[in-house]
Amino acid sequence: MPSYTRFTNCNLIDNGQVYENTDLYINNSTNKICHPPANSSDITRTIDIHGNFISPGFLDIQNNGIYGLSFSALNAKSTPEDIAHFDRFYKDAMTKYLSTGVTATCPTLPSTFPETYKKVLPFYKKSRTSTQTDSLGAHIEGPFISAEKKGCHPVETFVDAKEGESKLYDIYGGEANLVDNVCILTAAPEIPGVLDLIPIIKSKNIVFSLGHTMADYKTAVKAVDNGATMVTHLYNAMPQPHHRDAGVVGLINSPEVGDEKTPYFGLIVDGVHVDPSMVNLAYRSNPDKCVLVTDAMHLIGLPDGTYKWDDQFIVKTGDRLYLKGTKTLAGASTTLPHCVRNLMKWSKASLAEAVKTVTNNAAVSIGVEHQRGFLNVGCDADLVVLNKAGFVQKVYKLGREIKSSDIEDFSANEGKIMAVL
């Protein structure tokens, strides 16, 4: 017998718009969004949203770790016991992350060694679960990047691509390990051999993103011509735009590239990595290509303090993470819903416009728009219930209700959080 769930007394957010007083239906067999059933008696569950908003689940396409777990924690010395522990830790952390409203993410690895890629990438094969944040495939950031824009990446891992396609597979643990488990590859196009690899990477259904680069504008345009479709954490780890040399930043609104080929760009809207005025400049330049990302480190969700990270130490103070003794940023610790609220405040974006950057835009940027990121019929029933201020009230993962941690943060820190609205 067919069975359906009906969400009622709700306003739907999709395509940057609000569809007021519109019911949403889920097929309980497939856990996908569906048309209203022909027979109302087949509706076995009705959920009253009490005038709040339903959006697609949030997608975080750049995230280095969560709740104490670094997504690149394994290495050549990892034992079977270490791998089993990592597996348990990963599942627990992804379960906790779901409560923030992020229903899928690209676990991100900074530059590392082949042994690490070989061991850890299989964990990030695309998933579809009802109990935790899914993987969309890994985002591998490096090691084909510029030493001048290394950020906190270890330079001893950096390589060039002079050997071509074979080098790609040598670094990432083989062709299958790359193709089966990776969604986004960030590299610097000026590194020898990288420009020629872009069409190959694209042919493998992997997004090529420009990042950690010293590329000038002409080289950046060439990368787009070769198939690059994204820019990693705009402004960060790249030359800053000059009015006579726009650099990589110039791609987001380039008459030479044109609207159709303009790359999507990740933007860290935490108030630390990018000044609010520059957030506004980028977002307003091309809101349809803007994708908010957390660039979170594993310290997100942990108390302030100094933490060991491989052979380095990171100091966490609130949302700020720096390599100890330096002014080098070491990722972020701001949740994605918080970034959405920041965009609403700084760019005067509506709730629907801000949500589009972490749902529709994010989904299209990596080619999953037919499965996730929209409220279209056939998309997974991964949903977020929001109030008008952008706080997550509930999460539904494949139709299964998950308690929100965002609303808990609000009730515990009401005065502090109201300051960002």
Contact 105, 136 (CB under 8 A): yes
CA distance 176 to 47: 43
Contact 316, 304 (CB under 8 A): yes
Please identify which of the residues 60, 295, 380, 382 carries the catalytic annotation.
295
To the query of whether residue 14 is one of the catalytic residues in this protein, the response is no
CA 174 from centre of chain: 25
Could you list the active site residues? 295
